[in-house]
Chains A and B, each alone.
Chain A
Amino acid sequence: MRKIVLLALVIAGCGGGLQPEPICAPSLVGLCGTLRFQGAIPDSTDNVFIAAYATVPQTCNDLIANRRPLIPGSVPYTDSVADYSVELAPDTYHWVVAVWKKLGSLTLTPADTALLRVAGYYRDPADTTQRGAVTVPNGPAPGDINFVVDFDNLRPATDFVTCTAQ
């Protein structure tokens, strides 16, 4: 009896279970940082999410199909500052972007671009006019991937990619 209980305790102790996971936890494989919000939040706001692209998208289709994660989680946007983190596969990501989404259902097709706007993106610290690239290792996530979300400057997808008629 005692052996069984001890065995159970040992097995249970090894299992771990779900654990608290703070933003930028050491166990995160992905990237994290801080968003600074500015401008007036539109009434039609559904949420704000962070997405990453290993290659800079060229078309509307790339924008949807190559988005990682495919279904991103939302980031709190009502305070002026919010920490965020995104789980990603190890790779180098050449565009890390904050996306504003208006109310409505996504379809995972280029038609989604009607609901989405680019609200900000991570910039190269050496040249802030350019996109910044971030390498996600198979280990602790790079932190301090910080950038600004500007609700007064929400830009349509066509400012960045070519969208054929939908």
Chain B
Amino acid sequence: MHRTVAALLLILAPSQADAQGIVRGTVRDKDGSPIASASVSVRGTTLAARTDPAGRFRITLVPAGRVHLYAAAIGHAVADTVISLTGGDSTIVDLVLAAEPLALPPVDVISSRVPHFGERPSTSVADVTTQDIDRRALNTVDEAIEHVSGVQMINGQTNIRGSTGYVQGLNSRVLMTVDGIPMNQGDRGGINWDLLGVDEIESAQVLKGAGSSLYGSAAFGGVINVTTRDVPNGLHTRLRLSGGGYGNPPHDIWRFRDQQGVIGSGDLAASYGDDVIGGRISGGYRHSDGYREQDQEDHLHFAAKARWNTANTRVDVSGAWADDRYDVPLAWCNRGECADSGQVYQPFRMDTSEYGARTDSKKSYVAAQARTTLSPRFAWSARGSWFHTDFTDVRHTMSEYGIGNRFGLAGQIEARPDSTRAVVVGLEGTFSDVTSDIFGKHSQSEFAAYGQSEQRAGALRVSGGARVDFLAVDGGSLTAVVSPRIGLTIPTDTRARDGGMLRASVGRGFRAPSMAERFVHTFALGFEVIPNPTLRPETAWSFEIGHTSAPLFHKLRLDAALFWTEARELIEPQIIQVVDSTGTPHIEIQLQNVVRARIAGIDANVIAAPIPGHLTTTLGYTYLSTRRQLAGDTTTGPLAFRPPHQLTLSADYAFGVASVGADFRFASRPESIELEAFVDSRRVPVNVLDLRASWTRGPVELRLLATNVLNYVYNLVPETLAPVRTVTVTAVWSH
């Protein structure tokens, strides 16, 4: 084994005599303005860098000779150039990118586990860019995600192409990573969207379809990677203030307060960096009166990030801490539960017996990662992380608490044995524990090894690999899950570098039951919820074939994907009858591996720039066909909380220093919900229109955002009202 590793290192690592140099420079647009976050890479190597806000980049260890340099940025055509570099020398290269609104975004972090050559991967990846986040003047991270085609946020749970549905906050079939580090909760497996302030976020990428072959459990239905802002060179500060109000109920009979509810937030960040070190600290506070009765929320957060660069190594240390206290409108008021004014239900009011209910929630993480480029063809990286959650639900009937930890360690090697092959292999270990009065005291260990390779054969690219995960609960026996994946991309228009591309992939996904699902013991809907320690992992095979067109008439680009998932042993709550020791029957609720399901559909997107430089529009449509079958039952039906049709429309018009835009989201009425006979099954389609406007001058930006301007009243889960009209004004000062 040692000999094999030594031989590999000898092959891949360069001798000291190899001549190398440094390539540095800037990336600017045609007007000379710097382009931040552009990706600059040396083709055929692991060498890459991103530009800072001044558009500067620096790449070390570049082999002397003819160097093939490639630069890409959101909204710009790629630059592909060859330079000459002398060993031991430093060469300055200033790259100019032409504006191209239809350009495909550069490959980024989500693909860092996929060996690649800089082109788009063989699975669908949607990008939420810095510009998307800025122009929408969002207040929370999840608001940035829900505008992605095929994604629906259901009460904080992410549904990518119908993967998750709504699972009562006890798990997630989507993995969230922050700068590549998994951040799902250790106990419930869910996602804390309020862990980071929105001002910490630079961009996000959404990997659609099973990602378990790369990321393991929880990536059953997809992966969302959030990239935080980097630390640029120089001294920078950023102040963001936001304030606004909620619309009143559209019908007087639903009015529940005399004054208008308000929302406001403030964020301040400062950073300093040079070529070697850098650091950033930030903090923020947000208050919301909420749009319903007993819906107040206070949120405080701090974050810090530091980097250290040497000639061939970069070390990043980051952390965040957030404290939330929010009132809990558990469910809207039904007849007799409040001052109902003669109404069957009051969606803005709540059951008076739940007055005073609230949740106190603290969460924090610390992470460190290092990446060393040993040679242009060989790099390794390692990371460690700790994610801590602590919540207390305060209720009249009973209060519950839970403390969860998730510790992670990982190491990865990236290699380019030759110009036609890229390889990634890695090891990962995770330990999670929970102490809770509803989940008990338990732990779960996960160990994984993975390998992926991409081979170029002419214009064709074939990628494949597998990951094996071993899971153990409370130190018990290991359960092994193997998740293979294979993908293929074929250019369909070779005239342009950014031309059309056909992609196809098939992979296996799985999700280990969260400790909350296995061990939850509480009361819901008036029944006892009992634990099920024998839950098994959910598994699925996902297939996708898609095509991205080359720009049509220089104004239009189309992307469409056909996807198909066959899932086994999905975990759902079941109403069961049990007989106790006295022979008395009881109705109880238990989570069980009972459902077999098929999720198939089409995800189509159009981006158009009818007036280049001014007007950009996008249209996304997702059709979902789901079929659910209970074990031992031949009857079938649709999966719960999956709307068959989803439509997103977006348009932005820019003129000089100002711009206006609009977003529209439609989701048809879900055909089915869980436990339909036990809850108010009232539900309607989603029709939400958002409008925005912005003005930028020098370091100051002013943004106006009006969400749900039609004040459309709807719910996504039973008896829970979705947000009404909200108008906010945001001012940002950057220096």
Contacts and interface: CB of A to CB of B under 8 A. Distances in A.
Contact of B335 (A16, A23, A166): A23
B86 to A, nearest CB: 53
Contacts of A71: 525-526, 677-678
Contacts of A154: none
Contacts of A47: 336
A125 interface: no
Nearest to A165: B583
B337 A74 contact: yes
Interface residues of B, number: 47
Nearest to A87: B344
Contact of B712 (A12, A84, A105): A12
Contacts of B343: 20-23
Interface stretch (B7-15, B399-407, B474-482, B683-691): B683-691
B610 to A, nearest CB: 9
Contacts of A70: 677-678
A73 B298 CA distance: 33
B709 to A, nearest CB: 9
Nearest to A112: B587
A164 interface: no
Contacts of B710: 9, 12
A112 B426 CA distance: 57
B715 A8 contact: no
Interface string B235-272: 00000000000000001011000000000000000000
B231 to A, nearest CB: 38
A109 interface: yes
A41 interface: no
Contacts of B527: 105, 107
B651 interface: yes
A137 B664 CA distance: 38
Contacts of B336: 47, 73-77, 82
B666 interface: yes
B687 A15 contact: yes
Contact of B685 (A7, A15, A82, A107): A15
A21 B677 contact: no
B577 interface: yes
Given A1-B653, A12-B689, A17-B684, A84 B585 contact: no
A8 B712 CA distance: 12
A23 B342 contact: yes
A82 B347 CA distance: 20
Nearest to B578: A107
B334 interface: yes
B615 interface: yes
A134 B336 CA distance: 24
Interface string A31-52: 0000000000000000100000
Given A15-B687, A20-B254, A75-B335, A109 B715 contact: no
B488 interface: no
B682 interface: yes
Contacts of A1: 615, 617, 651, 653, 662
Given A4-B617, A23-B335, A73-B334, A107 B649 contact: no
Given A70-B677, A76-B335, A106-B526, A21 B651 contact: no
B584 A166 contact: yes
A108 B173 CA distance: 32
A74 B584 contact: no
Interface in B597-624: 615, 617
A8 B649 contact: yes
A107 B528 CA distance: 9
Contacts of B587: 106-109
Contacts of A74: 334-337
Nearest to B682: A18
B714 interface: yes
Given A74-B337, A109-B577, A20 B251 contact: yes
Contacts of A16: 684
Interface in A94-143: 105-111
A162 B685 CA distance: 46
Contacts of A21: 343-345
B726 to A, nearest CB: 16
Contact of A84 (B335, B682, B715, B721): B335
A105 to B, nearest CB: 6
A98 to B, nearest CB: 13
A15 B645 CA distance: 14
A160 to B, nearest CB: 21
B714 A17 contact: yes
Interface of B: 251, 253-254, 334-337, 340, 342-345, 347, 523, 525-528, 575, 577, 584-587, 615, 617, 649, 651, 653, 662, 664, 666, 677-678, 682, 684-689, 710, 712-715, 721
30 contacts: A1-B651, A4-B617, A4-B664, A7-B664, A8-B662, A8-B687, A9-B710, A11-B666, A12-B712, A17-B684, A18-B684, A18-B714, A19-B713, A21-B344, A22-B343, A23-B335, A25-B344, A69-B677, A71-B526, A73-B335, A74-B336, A74-B337, A76-B336, A82-B336, A85-B344, A105-B526, A107-B587, A109-B587, A111-B584, A111-B585
CB-CB nearest 8 A-B residue pairs: A15-B687, A8-B664, A12-B687, A108-B587, A109-B585, A74-B336, A76-B336, A21-B344
Given A73-B336, A111-B586, 9 more contacts: A12-B689, A15-B687, A15-B712, A17-B714, A18-B715, A18-B721, A21-B345, A25-B344, A111-B584
